[in-house]
Structure 1
Amino acid sequence: MTDGLMLPPGSGSRIQTVTLKVGAEHSKVWSAFEADVAPGFDVGAHVHQQAEELFYILEGELDLLAFHPAGEAGGDWRAWRSESGAEVLRGRPGSFMYVPAGCPHAFFNPGSEPARMLFLVSPSGHELYLRELADLLAASTGLPDQAKIAELRARHDIHQLTPLTQESGLRRSVRTGAASRRR
């Protein structure tokens, strides 16, 4: 018989701006994270061919995308529309997003305050990507090598469609790491 896992608030393993709650060492099926999303952080539209994800907003606001764009997809996924007319959702606490394998998806914090969300990834192991990314970012001086980032993402079933960015004011700069740490 295997026991479950119970964690008090704030527990888990911190990886950049994400706290791993349950990962591959506990489950073969999924990994669970609590994520802090800094104002202006845009994960960029991307696709996983194998993974499915669930997102649940706990605090703040996030723009959410989980559909294929109609026609030619431009560089700003927040302007995308689906063939059925779906548009990007401004999610608030309690908003939920399910992303099946093969579905383009993204999130962006449009507010001036950090947002916090719970997200689950199936199959488990997404924490391996996050740890490798953290190591790559820590080893770089200045902007990390984009080719290394692309290779890392490809090994972890992440096909980036639009850039991962961090906006500050009106300036939009391309980043290859995660959002700045909340707290």
Structure 2
Amino acid sequence: MGMELDVAQPLLLAPGEGETTTDRPERTLRILCELEQLIVTWFRYEPGEKGPDPHIHRQHTDAFYVLEGEVDFGLGPEITRITGGPETFAGAPPNVVHTFKNSSDATAIFLNIHAPSMGFGDVLRGGDHEHFDQFDPPEGGGRPFEEAIVQPAGAGEPIEHENTFHRIQAELPELSVIEMTFRPDFEGVDPHTHADHVDAFYVLAGEVDFVVGDEVRRAGPGSFLAAPPGARHGFSNPGPADLRVLNFHAPDARFVGRLRS
């Protein structure tokens, strides 16, 4: 059964919540949000677990953010190997060959993001693989490795304003991803809506007061909020520590450009 999401309200999940589609000793797959514009999933891979063989998506971006452990990414025509530890972001825009696995001797936990979602949730449920936007590498290997996105921990274009510090992880038409830090004296973002895109947050560190409809709800690390178009939401840092979140906008809808100004 698919996730029930009221598109008039933001979805707020506590750590461990969501739709678990697979839960075996070697892996857990959990859907955090599933909307037309964006699906965010939480994966646990034990040592030796592998994702799909090298492949491409023609019409959407596939991206990853490592939360714990290490993920071994293979990217580009030559399947260039990149080992990503915590806070590594990797992205495969359309027609970039990619694959991933846990080659380490420890558990790997990471987020997997598809924008647009293209029915990926049904694939995780064991359903419609045949019509999903996934294909073998094209003759010639697809787009060059340089067009993949790899941001090690601490990397990304920095943007600093009073009481905030951000690093852009990805800026694509279909998806922007930003590591955001809000200091304790940050006044917050007033409740608002977006008419043209999804706004979502995964809490990395600290605490946040999310506005969900007419309520204020406090959330800690591992919590997740998704605001569909038209859903009223806002947030603030109650302190006393810095608040760090991974923020997704799908599509980008010029959000990163406004963030720079």
TM-score w.r.t. structure 1 length?
A: 0.63
Partner of 1:155: helix, strand, or coil?
A: coil
Unaligned runs of 5+ in 2: 1-6, 23-27, 138-261
Aligned match for 1:118, one of 111, 117, 123: 111
Deviations 1:9-62 (A, max 9, x none): 000000112110001xxx220100000112112222111111211200001111
Give the counterpart letter for 1:157 in structure 2. Answer: D
CA separation in 1, counterparts of 2:46 and 2:30? Answer: 14
Partner of 1:2: 8
Check if 1:32 corresponds to 2:40: yes
Give the counterpart letter for 1:92 in structure 2. Answer: G
Aligned match for 2:60, one of 46, 51, 55: 51
Partner of 2:133: 157
Unaligned runs of 5+ in 1: 70-79, 81-86, 134-151, 162-183
CA separation in 1, counterparts of 2:38 and 2:74? Answer: 21
CA RMSD of aligned residues (A): 1.7
Task: Give the Å deviation of 1:160.
Answer: 4.1
CA separation in 2, counterparts of 1:54 and 1:19? Answer: 16
Larger radius of gyration: 2
Higher share of residues assigned helix: 1
Give the counterpart letter for 2:113 in structure 1. Answer: L
Partner of 2:64: helix, strand, or coil?
A: strand
- How high is the sequence identity, in percent, across the aligned residues? 27
Higher share of residues assigned strand: 2
Deviations 1:63-93 (A, max 9, x none): 1123222xxxxxxxxxx4xxxxxx3111100
Check if 1:131 corresponds to 2:125: yes
TM-score w.r.t. structure 2 length?
A: 0.45
CA separation in 1, counterparts of 2:20 and 2:111? Answer: 14
The runs of at least 4 aligned residues of structure 1 exceeding 4 Å deviation read none
Partner of 1:97: helix, strand, or coil?
A: strand
Deviations 1:147-169 (A, max 9, x none): xxxxx5341122245xxxxxxxx
Partner of 2:129: helix, strand, or coil?
A: helix
Aligned match for 2:49, one of 41, 47, 50: 41
Check if 1:98 corresponds to 2:87: no
CA separation in 2, counterparts of 1:153 and 1:103? Answer: 19
Task: Give the Å deviation of 1:98.
Answer: 1.0
CA separation in 2, counterparts of 1:153 and 1:65? Answer: 22
Total equivalences in the alignment: 124
Task: Give the Å deviation of 1:94.
Answer: 0.6
